[in-house]
Amino acid sequence: MKKVKVAIIGSGNIGTDLMIKVMRLSKVLEMGAFVGIDPNSEGLKRAERLGIPTTAGGIDGLINLPVFEDIKIVFDATSAGAHHKHNEILQKYSKRVIDLTPAAIGPFVIPPVNGDKHIDALNVNMVTCGGQATIPIVYAINRIAKVHYGEIVASISSKSAGPGTRANIDEFTETTSQAIMDVGGATRGKAIIILNPAEPPLIMRDTVFCLCVDADKDAINASIHQMVEDVKTYVPGYRLKQQVQFEHIGSNKPIHIPEMGGDFTGLKVSVFLEVEGAAHYLPAYAGNLDIMTSAAMKTAEKIAQTL
């Protein structure tokens, strides 16, 4: 099979790690161009050393590269604000776009949940790092027991949060919360992100709290463990930190959820996750970035096989 050429816009940590993954791991994708706006960025310099066509001229520079015509898929690893402009331009050239920002123009995609559902979409959104780590778990619970409320807390090292991540904090919470409902299946979703300044840097940790209807605990537990194995196929460092916890919420002490305007009873499921990065380019503690780039590449490979 002839490899499909791709371009990456954004020469920061996420873009650079994605470039390394495509070159080292993908059997169906091939780097066509690497795009930034700072000619002195480490990412652009690395791409140049690797012999990849580069430009510091942003989206306009990409369009002017001779290889642009051959590029079928474009990853955007910039910011939510910039992505709106990038997508508008790329659609004019019929490029398939994979959005690694929280712009959420296209449908949300979580590979083990709905990776085959939006293969034909011109633009797909990879939600957020916290979403990629936790929404599979919400979905795994919801396919056994309807989830009334899903809340996730993503804790990442401050050192793994670059300027793009920091600029998108509001969009992170909004996009992830929406995807917990749209993809995870919860009636209501809430997302919290914590930037931890601890030294040495801490590995990504994620907590998932779900309030669902009463159901077979063994079936829920099995569903969660199967989902963890599914995610591990493309993020080997994804794992449960401890056993799944269950708590029965009875009518004598219901949980009040202000956002939903009522009291709820049922089963509270608590899941604690850890995401260790593969350290292809980024440090192993930056699992938050690794799971995004891994999910994006997995999605691009599925799309490439249809082109």
- Which residues are part of the catalytic machinery? 129
Q: Which residues contact 236 (CB under 8 A, 6 or more apart)?
A: 278
Contact 141, 210 (CB under 8 A): yes
Burial class (CB in 10 A: 0-12, 13-18, 19+), 196: middle
Backbone φ and ψ for 74, nearest 5 degrees, come out as: -125, 125
Q: Which residues pair with 193 in a beta bridge?
A: 154
Q: What tokens does 208 get?
A: 């998932």
- Cis ω before 136 (30° cut-off from 0): no
Other beta carbons within 10 angstroms of residue 241's beta carbon come to: 13
Contact 75, 83 (CB under 8 A): no
Pick from 219, 109, 297: nearest CA to 227: 219
Q: What tokens does 6 get?
A: 């791709």
